[in-house]
Amino acid sequence: MNIIIVGCGKIGVSIAKQLREENHDIVVVDKNQDKIDEATSSFDIMGIVGNGTDYNILEEAGVDTANLLIAVTGSDELNLLCCVLAMQNDNCHTIARVREPLYSRQYDLLKKRLGISMLINPELASADEMAKILRYPTAIKVETFAKGKVELLNFKVTEDQVIDNMQIMDIHNILKCNIMVCAIERGNEIIIASGTTIIRRGDIVYFLASGKDTTRFFKKIGIKSKHVKNVLVAGGGKIAFYLSKKLVESGSINVHIMEKDRERCEFLSTYLPQAVIVNGDASDFDQLLGEGIQNADGFVALTNIDEENVFLALLAKKHSNAKVISKVNRLTIENMAEDLDAGSIISPTYTAANYIIKHVRAMNNTLNSNVETLYKIIDGNAEALEFNIRDDSEVVGVPIKSLKLKPQLLICMISRGNENFIPFGDSVIEEGDSVIVVTTQKGLDCIDDIIDR
């Protein structure tokens, strides 16, 4: 597709990189010459210096033939205006980053009245991701397939778990668990799993399952997946507001928020009356102890400083059994936090980019691809893809054991109607199925691309 990206900040650059890797034609627009130079020299894309709300600049970027314009500048209003201008081309879909909570409450109205295809709020999207992780305290991250019916989770194996030194086939034969282990991260090694793969302590294991099967699996391997009932949030910014609102509205979670700014505390007290708002400094360990961090089931570090969030996460892991989540914006800090085992790391930049990429793939699916969903896992070194199966596919009607699959590729799950099942050698893919594949192979656009020619 021909795609214009207005705004070369962190999100814009991340989107440009991923979409270019998927062979889309990209033009980036930004008022900053240095940002354009950096983006165009790093990736095989075109760049134009200028204001995305200037229609002449959009014409120079090729808006008349564009399939999609993505506006991710630092201004909500500029992003919305860019999209309205781009829609002068009837065939150009539009995506706008919108961060103002007022606009977030009016998404449906804005989309309907302005005709924008998608609105993305990075803070709200990050809060959604954090809420999913708190549902499964054992998991590091949770992704969804098959319209939410199948989940991809990863967790770290410890020596007290029964699967330490167990072959993957024995998860089914001995534990009788209906889950599919699809990949293992072992240090710098990436393993696409087979039945004879042995799980070791320290491995990060990626598996697919339904919600009820996930709970049963964790219980059988000796992980107490207790429900999160008390959450302590460090920092009272936008993500804290969105996350706390979701948690208190669930009706079963108590939320404490620590925020240094008194005025912000008053705002939170007004709009989150069910939460306990504390005017205090979360970086002060004595204050954290006073708020009961040692007894919390969940701790979320959401200050404006990446390093502080990592430090707080490490403190929380040391002094409590809480599920720990921290917000990190910079990639270098994110990698450091993962190496330090500082709990689950959420990047608003990456989360927003990932939501936008998913929307672009859904659009592309209607044009020339049958990839419904794609997640990059293991630091982008592997992919989990969901394919919609069409009647002209060469994999239809053929037993999986008879398909010559590419190396480092595993067919993990088939979704058929309301049924989700793990495929075996005699299983057959049918038209209308959704098929989930995990692989280190890149650039798979069609289910037929899994065949080794």
Query: How far is residue 93's CA from residue 84's CA, in Å, rounded to a whole number?
Result: 10
Q: Residue 334: which pLDDT band, with cuts at 50, 70 and 90?
A: low
Tens of pLDDT, residue by residue over 158-210, are 888 889 999 999 988 888 888 999 999 998 899 999 999 999 999 999 999 98
Tens of pLDDT, residue by residue over 196-254, are 999 999 999 999 998 788 888 888 887 766 678 999 999 999 999 999 999 999 888 99
Tens of pLDDT, residue by residue over 274-327, are 999 999 998 888 888 888 889 899 999 999 999 999 999 999 988 888 999 999
pLDDT value for 368: 52
Which residue ranges make up each domain of the chain? 2-120, 127-220, 230-344, 351-450
pLDDT value for 141: 81
Homologous superfamily of 230-344 in CATH? Answer: NAD(P)-binding Rossmann-like Domain (3.40.50.720)
Query: How far is residue 304's CA from residue 237's CA, in Å, rounded to a whole number?
Result: 8
Q: Residue 337: which pLDDT band, with cuts at 50, 70 and 90?
A: low
Instruction: List C-alpha distances in Å: 70 to 2, 285, 314, 360.
Output: 11, 42, 37, 10
pLDDT value for 436: 94
pLDDT value for 437: 94
Residue 237 has φ and ψ, to the nearest 5°, of: -75, -160
Pick the CATH number of 127-220 from 3.30.70.1450, 3.20.20.450, 3.40.50.300, 3.40.720.10: 3.30.70.1450
Tens of pLDDT, residue by residue over 383-421, are 898 998 887 888 999 999 999 999 999 999 999 988 888
- Name 231's bridge partners: 255, 298
- Surface-to-core class of residue 246, CB atoms within 10 Å of its CB (0-12 exposed, 13-18 middle, 19+ buried): middle
Q: pTM, whole model, 2 decimals?
A: 0.77
Query: How far is residue 144's CA from residue 150's CA, in Å, rounded to a whole number?
Result: 6
Instruction: Give mean pLDDT, residues 64-86.
Output: 94
Homologous superfamily of 351-450 in CATH? Answer: Regulator of K+ conductance, C-terminal domain (3.30.70.1450)
Tokens standing for 320?
């409590």
Query: How far is residue 357's CA from residue 341's CA, in Å, rounded to a whole number?
Result: 28
Domains 2-120 and 127-220 share a fold: no
- The CA radius of gyration of the chain, in Å to the nearest whole number, is 23
pLDDT value for 331: 67
pLDDT value for 200: 94
More confident residue, 361 or 248: 248
Query: How far is residue 14's CA from residue 39's CA, in Å, rounded to a whole number?
Result: 10
Q: Return the CATH fold of 2-120.
A: Rossmann fold (3.40.50)
Classify strands 434-439 and 382-388 as parallel, antiparallel or unpaired. antiparallel
pLDDT value for 366: 54
